[in-house]
Amino acid sequence: MKCPNHPRNEATGYCSVCGAFGCPECLHEHESRVLCRKHYRPIAQKIEGQKKRERLRKKYARQRLVVRYKEGRVKRGMCFALNPQDVEFHLDVVGDAGVPTGESALVRFEDLKAVFYVKSFDGKFNKTAVQQEWMPEGGELVVKFKDGEVIRGISLHRYRGDEPRFYVIPKDPKSNNISILVEASAVERVYRPEEYEAQRARQREERKDREVAQDLSREETMGDFYFETRNYTAALRQYEAAAKKHPKTRRIRKKLLVAQYDVGVQHIKRREYEEALACMEEVLKTDPHNSHAVKKARQLRRIIAKPKRANAKD
């Protein structure tokens, strides 16, 4: 009987799964079973995958990882070739002392907060030992996690904000962390360093406001009363008095600016343009980027300049 795939060859057997006849070129033996190409293909792929992993094991050193989950759990272990583009990876778990437990855990990225590539599990690493080098190409950033933790470093690649996870390289060469693979779903926000420092400064100011004046002073209370009744001039005087008592209170400084601006608007309604311009310029001394005051001041300067131009023509 001839082989249906190779007519020149004699059929020497058949597939133990589908019964298809074939020659030695068509059939493969695996664990005492004869299989055709179709049914041997997944086994061949598995064997090739195992060979690939073995090649990777020989090529790369084992990576020490501290895996932190979103809900707080921590696992330590070794991994040969973690691929951040996959959805999961295998971790050979170790105990607190770094001794393998024999357990292999399947770790899904979506459950994680971050994966820390570490020099040692206990933080006591050999400072003279050669570690894997990372050459960051991105900029410096500050990562704030949803649980409140903050880490600083340099992104391995340019941070885009649309990737499911990204690497951060610690700036401190003395850190036990070699790199950190951050899971984006666990992050509250990623800042540029100057953005983060500005936010912290605002938070400190607000905290001081609460500490310095938990209760409104009499002057500020009166200022609020006059402001509500649209007596902005009287409100401004009261806020100025309150500011003398509590000069570092951001809340009062803000009320001062608003009252000063509204006094200027009242001058505009009465066509007292020079007085209005003086109010707007006073606002801009403290808040030079106040868009409303900038616009009003520009308009007022044009209005005030018109009579001068008209007189110049006469």
Instruction: List the one residue out of 24, 25, 49, 29 whose CA is nearest residue 39.
Output: 29
Q: CA 23 to CA 116: how far, in whole Å? A: 53
pLDDT by 10s per residue, the chain, length 314: 889 889 899 988 999 999 999 999 999 998 889 999 999 999 999 888 878 766 655 554 568 899 999 999 999 999 877 889 999 999 999 987 778 888 999 999 999 999 999 988 887 776 655 555 667 778 899 999 999 999 999 998 888 888 999 999 988 878 889 899 999 999 999 999 999 999 898 888 777 766 555 567 889 889 999 999 999 999 999 999 998 887 767 888 899 999 999 999 999 999 999 999 999 999 999 999 999 999 999 999 999 988 655 555 55
pLDDT at 50: 77
List of domains in the chain? 13-59 (no CATH), 63-123+134-191 (no CATH), 207-313 (1.25.40.10)
Q: What is the number of H-type helices and E-type strands within the chain?
A: 7, 14
Give how far Cα 64 sits from Cα of 44, 165, 166, 178, Å. 31, 19, 18, 10
Q: Backbone dihedral region of 158: left (phi > 0), alpha (psi from -120 to 50 degrees) or beta? A: beta
Token pair 């971790």 in the structure block, residue: 91
> What confidence score (pLDDT) does residue 90 get?
92
Q: What is the pLDDT of residue 55?
A: 64
Specify whether the backbone of 218 is left (phi greater than 0), alpha (psi in -120 to 50) or beta: alpha
Residue 164 is predicted with a pLDDT of 94
Q: Is 19 left (phi over 0), alpha (psi -120 to 50) or beta?
A: left
**Cα 204 from chain centroid?**
22
Residue with tokens 């778990």: 93
